[in-house]
Structure 1
Amino acid sequence: RMENRSDREKLNKFNESPEWETLRQHAVQLLRSHFVSHWPETLPEPENVSAAIVALNGFCILCDWLGSDENYFTPKPNMPLAEYIVHSRQQAYRRVKDAGLLQTAVSHTPATFSDLFPFPPRPLQTLTDQIPASVLLRPVLIIIEAPTGEGKTETALALARRIAALRGTDEMYIALPTTATSNAMYTRIQEHLRNRLGLPPELVQLVHGQSFLVKDDLTIKPLENADGEEEAAQEWFAPKKKALLAPFGVGTIDQAMLSAMNVKHNALRQIGLAGKVIILDEVHAYDTYMTTIIKRMLSWLAALGSSVILLSATLPQRRRQELIESFAGSTVSLPCPDRYPSLIAINTAGELYTPDREISVYQPNKTIQLERLYFTEEQAAEKAQWLWQQVQNGGCAAWITNTVDRAIAIHKALQHIVSDDVDVSLLHGRLPQEQRQELETQIIGKYGKNGTRPAKGIVVGTQVLEQSL
């Protein structure tokens, strides 16, 4: 505190006394001589100033968190400056390494579909090797629309490997609509890293609000001769604000959407996604509100150098164009907009790829019989009776209804009429987490791709049944 006017007049524009100004300038000179002397006089202008500011902001937050760890950086008041700087550099390297930020995420697996997967590619999957490299060298948006069973997930993983081979890193984040689908994909991606990319499965982080409840059960255990570094790094990435910084992530779509929203530490999430391949599954499942945020997120991802692969059963033409415009910055005229199944790739330079022929489906003779049923909301008993008739002589049925109360009513009515040899399950969003997880595992085990289906089975559920499983 200055006691008189003459002392106050000595303050500079930073409200400093001459002594403090001298100390500050001395500190700046020390920092410049030890850290900045080898930097160029001028830096190139960033292509996108807003993205550069966000990236720098996120990077500074990360550096601050790392540098604030007192386990690595303790005061050394009596250490000479030159010795202190050498010591601090060594500690900084240790901290970054122990956090897992130096882990390699580069696979040496060849980038063709047949090198990744041991089975013959389906018609859609053959396109992964046909997209020109020039389209994939820049941040690219790829939209894949196809029915269930055509191999969209394998197609996306093969495309991610091709992009990685061209751009130098295999890092990716896979976003799904629900925790259940995220949990299933988490195990699948760990196996993909270990069996196909030749990378440690511990590099994968599970990212959703309930991950702490299930992650230990779903994580593939490291090899006995592993040095434990990856496992230790996983602990550092575990908090949700840091989770997207992990080289590989599987989680719910909301964790990625937060990067495009005005929330605390969104810049940290953005640098976690920067430069990665982002795969968004079940894009048709998102409503208008979520799609608006996703479109904004696509603009940021393009600016941050990320590539995005969108997977969907189908998309309206208007929504498809909006997604393309958000990423590429302009509309594009598609040669065959009504073609289905379809694959569209467009990069930030406007280079477009679409197949020059129709994509045949893997199951061309598959037929779906549509039958309209007429019931009122309250006719739970009649619905149950109809379901019972469908499986009396053998078979499995799923009934998806709009509300939890209706699902419970139908399930209750079924329990009163079906015989003991019918396997009846109920799945909805009100179930406790542990019970729901156990039930989902049972249903997948019975009715999934390699399930042991019961002779007679009925599953009643809400949209959770369709979106989660």
Structure 2
Amino acid sequence: MWRVGADVTLRAEVWGKAPERLADGLAPYPLVAHLLDTLLVAGVLWDTWLSPRLRRLLAKELCGGDEGCARGWVVLAAGLHDVGKATPVFQLQAASPRAGVDAWRPLMATRLTEAGLPACDELAVQALATSTGRVARRHEYLGLVALSGHDPVELRGLRLGTDWLAAVAGGHHGHWYLPARDSAAPYLAAGMCSGGWADVQADLRGVVAAAAGCDLAETPILDPARAAVVVTLLTGLTILADWVASSDLVVHGGYRVIEKGIDPYSGGWPAARGDALVTVVASTVGSYVPPGNPRATVLGRPVAGQMRSLRPLQADAQRIGPGAWFVAYPTGEGKTEAALLRHMAGDPEGLIFGLPTRATTTAMQQRLGSIFAGTGNTVLLSHQYAAAHRVECASEYGLEWYSSSIRRLIAPLVAATCDQVLVGALRQRHAALRLLALANHHVVLDEVHTYDQYQSHLLKALMAWWGATGTRVTLLSATMPQWQRRQFASAYTRDEATCPDEAAYPAHWVVTGEVGQVAQPTLSQDQPDLRVELVSSDEATDRHAAWAKDTHQAHPGCHIAVIRSTVDDAVDTARRVQSALPGVAVVCLHSRMTVAHRARVEAQLIDRLGPRAAPGPPLVVVATQVIEASLDLDFDLMSSDLTPAASLVQRAGRLWRFRDDTQRRARFGVLPDGRMMHVVVRTRDGVITGRGSLPYFASELARVAQWLSDTPTIQVPENVQAFVDQTSLDLDQVCADLVNAEEIAAASRRIESATLNVSNLRQRVAAPEKRCRYADLNALTGGPEDACSLRDEDRMGTRFDDDQVSGTYLLVGEPAGVPLPVGTLAATGDAARVRQALDAMVSVTGARLCAALDEASASTVPTGWRPRSRLLAHARPVHVDQLSEHGLTYHERLGLIAADILTGAP
């Protein structure tokens, strides 16, 4: 092993990793070796992972378009990231609670003293332990001070255009720290970066700059209007390079190189490490491999020598270039394939496909996995329960590296819930890496009509970021209100005039900085009109159940859907329908089911009602709105609670979805002349109330009801856009109606909530007129004390609940829960058992229900829940035997429900 010798130079004393080895007579990993490793990893990421588009952007901003020159400055920024470790507070971990415990510290102190490097004096150590001085213990903050060369007191106003290298180092651990104005940290930092330590820091800068092929005296000056974008991208890349370079695989490989006699300070280090680091990046981060035949990849191989023909929208997609592409087309027109064809027609870059629910995300992961099979790409799944789903590896990089949501977004191909994308707009640690990942991919967001005002506000911020980075974005939806079109387009281009004034439908258009050009290719097939039977009732559940019974008796061979707006209503309706139709299969689907239970139901529905379903007996499905955007299913007849227009149109897309007239005629007896939807308006004394309309706005539902009353047949596609635009809730209008005004206020609270949570990405970083300073970067992340702490990864602060009460629970005990003792679950690190536990999790919203489950959890684990696996930490265990004690039960068909539901009359 490489051992400490008496003749090592002063600069070699400074460690970067593993100081505890000193206690065993072994040398720590030198700081210079880690800096150079990170530089080299960043170079590999530039060559293999960073998209050509981002390489061009950085080259333009750094070197006027010269990519070779830009590469040198990018890797230099990464290599300098840990210069702040060359300080006495880091080298001795001063003010640490373990200062008097670790055996290596006095050894290190002695060596530094012998080398002429001063330690922190006692007063400095005391100051570092105070709330106003603790920031000066952070090596990234010290790196900011060391690289800026400015008075640390003035760093709040640091100009990013000239001091971008310092800003990258300052943010590489996830937060851009900003001490309080009265903090002692700047004065402490100044002392840490002076004298002999300043010489060591200068020495390290010189070695790293030489390895990068750069002269620090000629550091480029960035355009002030673009500097924040560049710094954010470079910080994200530095974080990623540092993560890879800090892995045991890289550090242990470095020790072996040192043992061969290669000095990290010698010019031979890059050559000795280069090939190994290329292999490490390939086996962890990976890279996107473009398919050789895009059309065959998306549409399938030729059958009998004939390639499937492209639908009009899909043919147009291959000609869509840069920018944000908006697609508002009916279901069944191949929007997913169109997005993939657009993806493959452009620069080779990664793909993130964002969807509204876990079910659609998991289904998309499987679909993309099938499409990209044999191309060398693996499709990563990113949602709260992603670890519960096994992914077959189609390439050589290791899936265990993608253990967190932010790392999963780094993968070349990602199927994610929209939450995983929208969280990029929130203030959080490592915001720079998440934003880099989102900019490094072509981002496709499906079912955008499901986004409420809160989510739309978050997406607006991200659209500004994507516009600033030239990211390709594709927004798909069966319908898209004009207010959404205008908001997203203007954010992307930073110009209110870029959205077409007339909302054509069906249509698609691209915005890149100019007014979007609208195209309306013909539909691939006629869309049947939709006749709506609108009824009002104070007893909506009775009306749905009676309709299902009568409809089945009239059409006993047909598949029927009943869609309710709340879980409790869906459960109650399913019970009543099953009681009325005892010989018919009735399936219930909603969000309050365990992961495994819901997956079984979804698989059953796909098998019976999906695109490859064989003819079979009739099925009645009672579900919440999860079915609207979750599964690719085909029903003959449907009853629905009244919803906003966009959702009703989306639900109608599940009627006659696959256009199989032969099976339709067989089930109906004759071929119907149009689609029919039974819509129940839930009222109280004939009035749509706020409580009865949840989770929607009563005023919006009143508009929808009035429109359908006046126009009971929706001509498709002719009436669709008018239906959506004339009934959607417009926050800009003045509402004289009291109910309307209250609901506008409620919607405004959603916007206000988003404004409090967002990172000011659009206003501070992506705005071209903004001359950003270091304090603006701090707004992206805050500090550790005020950064977001997101317990539920699937929601991640991107969904607005008026009561803000939700939770994730782990059911323990058979038959509904994981069949393992709580103690075993807490202690397990076994991947199979963790997946088993994830399968038994259920997400719940509502104050009363969460309170009952919290009490049941307290009885299950009275001493608290501290599991070994991080994947289980966010859930609260509840033993199934405790459910009945708190008025709950888990039903094998209906999921988690109040026990008294089963005792009441159906």
TM-score bracket, shorter-length normalisation: 0.7 to 0.9
2:537 maps to which residue? 375
Residues 91/455 of structure 1: CA separation in 2 closer, same or farther (3 Å cut): closer
In the alignment, structure 1 residue 43 sits paired with structure 2 residue 206:
no
- Aligned counterparts of 1:12 and 1:152: Cα–Cα separation in 2: 55
Aligned residue pairs, count: 433
- Aligned counterparts of 1:115 and 1:22: Cα–Cα separation in 2: 62
Of residues 289, 309, 330 in structure 2, which corresponds to 1:105? Answer: 289
Of residues 337, 344, 353 in structure 2, which corresponds to 1:161? Answer: 344
User: Which has the higher mean CA deviation after the structures are superposed, 104-113 or 363-372?
Assistant: 104-113
Residues 451/394 of structure 1: CA separation in 2 closer, same or farther (3 Å cut): same
- Aligned counterparts of 2:244 and 2:527: Cα–Cα separation in 1: 58
1:404 maps to which residue? 567
2:383 maps to which residue? 208
In the alignment, structure 1 residue 191 sits paired with structure 2 residue 370:
yes
Equivalent pairs: percent with the same residue?
A: 26
1:32 maps to which residue? 209
User: What's the secondary structure of 2:559's corresponding residue?
Assistant: strand
Of residues 330, 350, 355 in structure 1, which corresponds to 2:514? Answer: 350
Letter in 1 for 2:209: R
Of residues 373, 386, 389 in structure 1, which corresponds to 2:547? Answer: 386
Post-superposition offset of 1:111: 6.7
Q: Cα deviation per residue 1:233-289 (whole Å; 9 max; x = unaligned)?
A: x22134212111111111101111122211111211111122321100000011000
- Aligned counterparts of 1:284 and 1:260: Cα–Cα separation in 2: 19
2:333 maps to which residue? 150
- Aligned counterparts of 1:303 and 1:171: Cα–Cα separation in 2: 18
1:125 maps to which residue? 314
1:57 maps to which residue? 235
Q: Cα deviation per residue 1:123-178 (whole Å; 9 max; x = unaligned)?
A: 333322455xxxx1xx401000011111111111111122x2xxx31421000000
Of residues 278, 297, 301 in structure 1, which corresponds to 2:462? Answer: 297
User: Which has the higher mean CA deviation after the structures are superposed, 86-95 or 255-264?
Assistant: 86-95
Residues 89/369 of structure 1: CA separation in 2 closer, same or farther (3 Å cut): same
- Aligned counterparts of 2:440 and 2:393: Cα–Cα separation in 1: 28
Residues 256-275 of structure 1 aligned to structure 2 (within 5 Å): 256-275=421-440
Letter in 1 for 2:603: T
Post-superposition offset of 1:109: 2.5
By relative contact order (CA 8 Å, sep 6+), the higher-ranking structure is 1
Residues 423/305 of structure 1: CA separation in 2 closer, same or farther (3 Å cut): same
Residues 128/25 of structure 1: CA separation in 2 closer, same or farther (3 Å cut): closer
Contact 1:150/1:362 (<8 A) preserved: yes
The TM-score, its normalising length taken from structure 2, stands at: 0.45
Contact 2:298/2:341 (<8 A) preserved: no
The TM-score, its normalising length taken from structure 1, stands at: 0.83
Where in structure 1 are there 5+ consecutive unaligned residues?
4-10, 223-227
- Aligned counterparts of 1:264 and 1:288: Cα–Cα separation in 2: 25
Residues 434/291 of structure 1: CA separation in 2 closer, same or farther (3 Å cut): same
Residues 59/364 of structure 1: CA separation in 2 closer, same or farther (3 Å cut): same
Post-superposition offset of 1:37: 4.1
Residues 453/299 of structure 1: CA separation in 2 closer, same or farther (3 Å cut): farther
Post-superposition offset of 1:32: 2.8
- Aligned counterparts of 2:541 and 2:221: Cα–Cα separation in 1: 68
What root-mean-square deviation, in Å, do the aligned CA atoms of Structure 1 and Structure 2 show?
Answer: 3.0
- Aligned counterparts of 1:176 and 1:124: Cα–Cα separation in 2: 20
Letter in 2 for 1:199: T
Post-superposition offset of 1:431: 1.0
Contact 2:325/2:511 (<8 A) preserved: yes
Where in structure 2 are there 5+ consecutive unaligned residues?
1-118, 122-187, 302-306, 632-906
Contact 1:113/1:129 (<8 A) preserved: no
Residues 430/247 of structure 1: CA separation in 2 closer, same or farther (3 Å cut): same
Post-superposition offset of 1:397: 0.9
Post-superposition offset of 1:304: 2.2
1:225 maps to which residue? none
1:68 maps to which residue? 246
Letter in 2 for 1:32: A
Residues 314-463 of structure 1 aligned to structure 2 (within 5 Å): 314-332=479-497, 337-347=502-512, 349-350=513-514, 352-355=516-519, 358-364=520-526, 366-377=528-539, 380-392=541-553, 393-420=556-583, 422-463=584-625
Of residues 351, 354, 377 in structure 2, which corresponds to 1:172? Answer: 351
Letter in 2 for 1:332: A
User: What's the secondary structure of 1:388's corresponding residue?
Assistant: helix
Contact 2:498/2:515 (<8 A) preserved: no
- Aligned counterparts of 2:616 and 2:543: Cα–Cα separation in 1: 24
- Aligned counterparts of 1:388 and 1:12: Cα–Cα separation in 2: 76
Letter in 1 for 2:372: L
User: What's the secondary structure of 1:206's corresponding residue?
Assistant: strand
Residues 416/33 of structure 1: CA separation in 2 closer, same or farther (3 Å cut): closer
User: What's the secondary structure of 1:426's corresponding residue?
Assistant: strand
Letter in 1 for 2:579: H
Q: Cα deviation per residue 1:295-344 (whole Å; 9 max; x = unaligned)?
A: 10111112223110000111121221111001111123666723210111
Residues 40/304 of structure 1: CA separation in 2 closer, same or farther (3 Å cut): farther
Post-superposition offset of 1:94: 3.5
Contact 1:295/1:322 (<8 A) preserved: yes
